[in-house]
């Protein structure tokens, strides 16, 4: 059982109520996160209203340090519940304008995946596992579904549920537009199509491609190849555009850039590997964008007698850490899985506590992994 905040003398602070105990996740969280959850519920139930107390008096009333209170309030600010200012905090008007999910109703996140790209679902497996665990301890169920176009349209026509948040896994623009028109609560996991205003969580795929391309150009690679999955998703088009822009912007030496799109069935991959490794004579840089298997590219190069990395340097983009466990390990821009799971979890908590979703979105940087 989680105890109420205590004074230094060991007596409960009055009239501050005890923290809620029905969520098992509370026992696993730090004190700032416990306090944030307590305040979040107080806002949702209308027990906390303007004007909010000053930081000093509020921390005394709660029996916590000002640092703990400040951290908790900044967590709520990141969720859009309030705004911090030099003297304290102020509730955002949007808090009272939304309706949270009914108490006692099972909360669920449905991850909808376009079945066209089912061949690379293995790349989402670890992300799903981690997100499932993070949501589970918060009383939120996670379900995934591989959908045909007919199924996606059927889900869009279904009655909106206040206890369900749809997670759109890099759906092509057609389906993003379809769900946006329904007014259903959706969160895009990927890049949002042009002209749509949907909340999203995304890795900066285009930024990673651009940065990696310039890295190879600075190392003397005059020929660049981008090997990527064939996809109609907005993010993939942006990544290819970033690659081509980097090649055209390099003015120190002439650059030959080639984008090679592949399906993920074995026949398509083998044909793409032949295209990627054919006639490599000059120093060449090859960017392999997940979920194209990085090991297959390197193996194909070695089989064709291309020295790696002396003649051809290969960079892994947004792959899982496990897929780059090769010898020697290739340079890699890691898939920011933990950060993505954290942001999706925060958005889900905000939705089920207030009925709101974050305005705009979160673009997460893919950092260059240290080998």
Distance separating alpha carbons of residues 167 and 201, to the nearest angstrom: 10
* Section 32-55 average pLDDT: 80
pLDDT for 74 equals 86
Q: Looking at per-residue confidence, does 371 or 134 come out higher? A: 134
Within the chain, all domains assigned CATH 3.40.50.2300 are found at 107-203+338-364, 205-333
**CA atoms within a 13 Å half-sphere pointing along the CA-CB vector of 222:** 7
1 pLDDT tier (thresholds 50, 70, 90): very low
The matching CATH number, chosen from 1.10.10.10, 2.30.40.10, 3.30.2290.10, 2.60.120.340, for 24-97 is 1.10.10.10
Among residues of the chain, what percentage have pLDDT more than 70?
86
CATH dotted code for 205-333: 3.40.50.2300
Closest to 286 in 3D by CA, of 311, 303, 304: 311
Instruction: Report phi then psi at 222, rounded to 5.
Output: -90, -15
131 pLDDT tier (thresholds 50, 70, 90): very high
* Section 110-119 average pLDDT: 79
Specify the long-range contacts of residues 34-40, CB closer than 8 Å, at least 24 apart: 34/2, 35/5, 35/62, 35/64, 35/68, 35/69, 35/72, 36/71, 36/72, 36/73, 36/75, 36/76, 39/72, 39/73, 39/76, 40/76, 40/79, 40/81, 40/349, 40/353, 40/354
Most confident of 2-16, 84-98, 246-260: 246-260
* Section 193-222 average pLDDT: 94
Please, are residues 263 and 246 in contact by the beta-carbon 8 Å criterion? no
- pTM of the shown model: 0.70
User: pLDDT tens digits, residue range 312-352?
Assistant: 999 999 988 888 889 889 999 998 999 999 999 999 999 99
Within the chain, all domains assigned CATH 1.10.10.10 are found at 24-97
CATH dotted code for 107-203+338-364: 3.40.50.2300
For residue 97, pLDDT beyond 50 = no
């Amino acid at each position: 059982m989680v105890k109420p905040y205590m004074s230094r003398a060991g007596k409960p602070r009055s009239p501050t109520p005890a923290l809620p105990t029905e969520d098992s996740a509370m026992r696993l969280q730090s004190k700032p996160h416990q306090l944030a959850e307590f305040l979040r519920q107080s806002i949702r139930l209308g027990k906390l209203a303007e004007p909010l107390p000053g930081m000093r008096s509020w921390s005394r009333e709660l029996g916590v340090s000002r640092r703990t209170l400040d951290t908790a309030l900044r967590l709520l600010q990141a969720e859009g519940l309030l705004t911090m200012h030099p003297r304290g905090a102020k509730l955002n008007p949007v808090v009272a304008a939304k309706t949270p999910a009914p108490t006692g109703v099972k909360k669920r996140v449905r991850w909808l995946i376009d079945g066209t790209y089912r061949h690379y679902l293995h790349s989402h497996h670890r992300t799903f596992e981690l997100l499932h665990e993070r949501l589970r301890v918060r009383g939120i169920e996670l379900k995934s579904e591989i959908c045909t176009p007919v199924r996606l349209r059927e889900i869009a026509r279904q009655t909106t549920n206040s206890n369900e948040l749809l997670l759109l896994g890099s759906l092509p623009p057609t389906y993003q537009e379809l769900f946006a028109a329904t007014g259903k609560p959706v969160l895009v996991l990927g890049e949002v199509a042009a002209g749509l205003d949907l909340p999203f969580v995304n890795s900066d795929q285009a930024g990673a491609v651009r940065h990696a391309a310039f890295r190879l150009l600075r190392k003397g690679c005059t020929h660049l190849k981008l090997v990527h999955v064939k996809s109609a998703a907005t993010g993939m088009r942006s990544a290819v555009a970033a690659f081509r822009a980097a090649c055209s912007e390099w003015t120190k030496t002439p650059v030959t850039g080639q984008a090679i799109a592949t399906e993920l069935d074995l026949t398509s991959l083998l044909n793409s590997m032949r295209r990627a490794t054919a006639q490599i004579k000059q120093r060449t840089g090859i960017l392999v964008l997940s979920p194209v298997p990085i090991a297959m590219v390197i193996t194909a190069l070695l089989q064709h007698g291309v020295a790696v990395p002396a003649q051809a340097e290969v960079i892994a983009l947004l792959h899982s850490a496990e897929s780059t466990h090769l010898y020697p390990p290739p340079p890699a821009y890691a898939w920011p899985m933990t950060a993505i799971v954290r942001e999706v979890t925060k958005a889900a908590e905000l939705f089920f506590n207030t009925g709101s979703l974050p305005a705009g979105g979160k673009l997460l940087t893919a950092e260059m992994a240290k080998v």
